Amino acid sequence: MTVVFYLIATLTLAGGLAAVLLKHLVHCALAVTVAFGGLALLFLSLDAQFAGFAQILVYIGAVAILIVFAILLTRGSELPKDGVFSRTWLVGLAIAAGVFSVLGWAVLESAQSLPQQSAVPAVTVHDIGNALVGRYVLPLEIVALLLTAATIGAVIVALHEKDGAQ
Amino acid sequence: MITTMDQIFVLLQHWIVGFLPAFVQPFAAVLLSVVVIICLFPALFALAVWMERKGLGRMQNRLGPNRVGPFGLLQPIADGIKSLTKEDIVPLSADTPVHFLAPLLLVVAAFMGFAVLPMGRNMVLVDMDAGLLFFFAMGASTEVSVFMAGWSSRNKYSLLGAMRAVAQMISYEVVLLLSSVAVVMISGSMSLTKIVEAQNHYTWGMPHWYIFTPWGLAGFVMYAIAATAETNRSPFDLPEGESELVAGYHTEYSGFKFALFFLGEYLAMFSISGLGTTLFLGGWSAPFAFLEWVPSWIWFFSKLMMSIFVFIWMRGTLPRLRQDQLMNFAWKFVLPFTLLNLMVTALWRFMGEGWERWVVCSAILAVVWVVMGRVEMRSEHFGPRSYRYAE
Residues B123-165 have pLDDT tens digits of: 888 888 888 888 988 888 888 888 888 888 888 888 888 888 8
pLDDT of residue A162: 58
A149 is a domain residue: yes
User: What is the predicted pLDDT for the residue at A97?
Assistant: 93
The pLDDT confidence band at residue A146, using thresholds 50, 70 and 90, is very high
- pLDDT 10s digits, B164-206: 888 888 888 889 999 999 898 888 888 888 888 888 888 887 7
Residue A155 contacts B where some CB pair is shorter than 8 Å: no
Q: What is the CATH number of the domain that holds A103?
A: 1.20.120.1200
Q: Does the CB of A85 have a partner CB in chain B at under 8 Å?
A: no
The region of weakest confidence among A142-146, B281-285, B338-342 is B281-285
Mean per-residue pLDDT of chain B: 84
Q: Which residues of A touch B166 (CB under 8 A)?
A: 65, 68-69
Confirm or reject contact between A54 and chain B (CB < 8 A). yes
- Residue A158 placed within a domain: yes
- Name the strand (E) or helix (H) holding A109: helix A89-113
Between residues B41 and A161, the one the model is more confident about: B41
Our CA-based measurement puts residue A104 at a distance from the nearest CA of chain B, in whole angstroms, of 30
- pLDDT tens track for B197-244: 888 888 887 788 888 888 888 899 999 999 998 888 878 887 776 777
Question: Across-strand partners of B207?
Answer: B202
| Whether A165 and B386 lie within 8 Å, measured CB to CB | yes
A148 touches chain B (CB under 8 A): no
If asked whether residues A101 and A145 sit together in one domain, one would say no
At B270, the pLDDT band (50, 70, 90 cuts) reads very high
Residue B382 has a pLDDT of 63
Q: What is the pLDDT of residues B327-344, one digit of tens each?
A: 888 888 888 889 999 989
Minimum distance, in Å, between the CA of residue A87 and any CA atom of chain B: 28
* Higher-confidence position of B326 and A142: A142
pLDDT at A143 over 90: yes
DSSP single-letter state for residue B240? G
Q: Are residues A72 and A151 in the same domain?
A: no
CB contact under 8 Å between A61 and B128, yes or no, is: no
Backbone conformation region of residue B275, classed left if phi is above 0, alpha if psi is from -120 to 50, else beta: alpha
- The helix (run of H) or strand (run of E) holding residue B368 is helix B356-379
Looking at per-residue confidence, does B1 or A38 come out higher?
Answer: A38
- pLDDT (average), residues B111-126: 85
Nearest to A164 among B134, B139, B386 (CB): B386
Look at A72 and B259; give whichever has higher pLDDT: B259
- Residue A119 confidence class, pLDDT cut points 50, 70, 90: low
**Would you say residue A116 lies in a domain?**
no
The pTM score is 0.85
Count other C-beta atoms under 10 Å from residue B379's C-beta.
Answer: 8
Q: Of A31-40, A152-161, B15-24, B203-212, where does the model show the most confidence?
A: A31-40
Does residue A154 share a domain with residue A98?
no
Q: How many domains does chain A have?
A: 2
A166 and A94 share one domain? no
- What are the DSSP calls for B82-145, one per residue? HHHHS-----TTS-HHHHHHHHHHHHHHHHHGGGG---STT--S---TTHHHHHHHHHHHHHHH
Per-position DSSP letters for B262-318, written without gaps between them: HHHHHHHHHHHHHHHHHHHS-TTS-SSGGGTTS-HHHHHHHHHHHHHHHHHHHHHHP
Q: CA-nearest residue of chain A to B134?
A: A53
Distance CA B362, CA B377 (A): 22
d(CA B49, CA B337): 33
| Residues of B within an 8 Å Cβ radius of A | 95, 98, 128-130, 133-134, 136-141, 143-144, 147-148, 151, 159, 163, 166, 170, 173, 188-190, 324, 385-386, 388
Quick: pLDDT tens for A87-105. Answer: 788 898 899 999 999 999 9
- Residue A117 is assigned to a structural domain of this protein: no
Question: Domain range spanning residue A91?
Answer: 1-107
In terms of domains, do A132 and A71 share one? no
Whether A99 and A135 map to the same domain: the answer is no
State the ipTM, two decimals.
0.78
**Is there a single domain that holds both residue A102 and residue A129?**
no
Angle of helix B8-17 versus helix B25-59 axis, rounded to 10: 140
Which is more confidently placed, B324 or B175? Answer: B175
What is the reported pLDDT for A165?
Answer: 47
